[in-house]
Amino acid sequence: MATGPGYDDFKNFNLRDEQGQQQVKWTTGGRLKSFFCGKCLFLYITILLTAFLILLITGVMKSSKTGEAMEEFQSQVQMKLSQAMNNECHSRPCPRHWINFNGSCYFFSTKQATWEDSQKYCSTRAARLLIVNDEAEQHFVTVETESRRFWIGLTDRNSNNVWHWVDDTPYNSTPTFWMPGEPNSLAESCAHLWKQGLWNDAPCSKKDYFICEK
């Protein structure tokens, strides 16, 4: 009879002890779980922030490169437009019976006139007698004239033996293509193309073909 309460106490003791241990496990497990969840959350946020920073830096770099690319593209477009405008200016058709060469228009007359009348004819057409600026132009007119005599815009009639171009291009700034021994006479003050396109001085009152240029 005396053992009854003791047995009950033992059972109650074990039950209370077991419940206490279980509570301790739950409390410890909850704390551990909370600790690890907090750590995971911090790590997750850190990863997100890092990824955001990487994306932001990449976007800035791409934006910078895009800006540079746009500036380069605009520069190329402007250059292309400028070239197109220059080509358009140089490729404009010449008037009828005029020949285009290197951006200028040339008229080779089929009638003869004095040097002065030739210059007047050219000026009425917004042109002037030919000014030979380089070897390419000299070769061009040589081929076109075929050793016939054509007045050019070179004279010394207002200053003996001091030749000058009608557009005031400095005589010494351009190459000359005189025939051997020419110019050779103070009475011959105007220049024309002759054999093989070489230059010769002749009386300005003489009638020859002429070349206008504009």
pTM tops 0.85: no
Tally of domains in the chain:
2
Pair (55, 138) in one structural domain: no
Pair (204, 182) in one structural domain: yes
**Per-position pLDDT tens, the chain of length 214:** 444 444 444 444 454 554 554 454 444 455 544 544 566 677 768 787 877 778 787 776 666 555 565 566 555 645 554 555 555 445 568 999 999 999 999 999 999 999 999 999 999 999 999 999 999 999 999 999 999 999 999 999 888 789 999 999 999 999 999 999 999 987 899 999 999 999 999 999 999 999 999 9
Q: Is 49 helix (H, G, I), strand (E, B) or coil?
A: helix
Tokens of 187: 């009475």
CA dihedral (62, 67, 68, 70) positive or negative: positive
Pair (110, 86) in one structural domain: no
Q: Which of 56, 91, 126 is the last residue of a domain?
A: 91
Alpha-carbon distance of 128 to 136, in angstroms, equals 19
Whether 212 contacts 127, CB under 8 Å: yes
